[in-house]
Amino acid sequence: MNERQIKIFVAVIEEYTKTGLPVGSSVLVDKYNFDVSAATLRSDMAKLENEGLLYQPHTSAGRVPTDLGYRYFVEDIMPERELSKKEQQMMQKELLQLRAQNSRLTRTTAKLLSTLSGYVAISGVPHNNDFSKCGLRSLLSDVDADNMDEICALAESLDYIDEKCDDLMAELSDGETKIFIGEENPISKTQNYSMIVSQYEQDGEKGIVALIGPKNMEYEKNKSLIDQVKKTLGGISVIIMILGNISY
C-alpha cells in the first residue's frame, strides 16, 4: 500500500466504526478531505479489496473492513493510547467506591468496564472459579434479525465461560493484551463480534478481564481501558490494605 491507500484504509475503518455502514468514495471525498477524485479513491479502494483488507457487501454498496483488514489495523497501524492521569484516577476511584459496595472484585471490575465501554465485560479468577459478566443488555439493544443467532450463541458461551477459560488463558502470555477479531474468538466463534482480553495478577492469583463488542468497535479506546483496569487491579489490593490499616 502507498501512503494515500493507508490513509484511505484508516478513513474507512474510522467511518465504519462511527456508522456501521459500508463506506463509499463519496463519503471519503465529503468528510475526509482527500485531494483526489472520487474515481481515484474508488480505484484505490478496489486495490485494497484485492489485497483482502476491504470487501464490498453488495455490488452498489461501499466497502467495509475484512477480518484481515482489522488484523492489519490493530497490529500495524493502531497507535498505543494511555488514559490521561485524570481518567486513571477516576477509574481507580470508581473501582474503590464500587468495591466498598460489593465485596466481589470480579463483579466490580466487570460492571465498571461495561459502563465505560458500553459492551459486554468479563472479569474472573479461574483458580477460584469466580466469574462475573455485565453488559449483555447493551448488545441486545442493537440486535436485529440478521445477528440474532450470533447474539444467542454469544450469550450461551458466556454462560459457560468458566469451562472455556482454560482455552482462553492458554492463548495469553503474561502481561499481554490480546485482540481476537470475529471468528478468532476462542470462546464463541461469532463472525460479527470481537474480544479484547488480558491477564492480571492480584495477591498472587491470576485473573482475566475482557470486553466483547461489535467488530467495528473502537479498538484503540477499548484496549486502553483493559490495560488501565489491569494496572489498577494490580495495585488496588495494596490501596485497600493501606486504607484498612489506617486508624481513625
Q: Where do the domains of the chain lie, and which CATH numbers do they carry?
A: 3-77 (1.10.10.10), 85-244 (3.30.450.40)
Span 214-248, pLDDT tens digits: 899 999 999 999 998 888 876 654 443 333 333 32
User: pTM here?
Assistant: 0.86
pLDDT band for 151, please (50, 70, 90 cuts): confident
Give dist(CA 193, CA 51) in Å, integer. 22
Span 55-113, pLDDT tens digits: 998 877 799 999 999 999 999 999 888 888 888 888 778 777 766 665 578 888 898 89
pLDDT of residue 104: 76
Query: Which residues are CB-contacts of 50 (< 8 A; sequence separation ≥ 6)?
Result: none
The Cα angle at residue 9 between residues 7 and 12, in degrees rounded to 5: 110
Give dist(CA 97, CA 87) in Å, integer. 15
Pairing of strands 177-180, 193-202: antiparallel
Contact (Cβ atoms closer than 8 angstroms) between residue 121 and residue 107: no
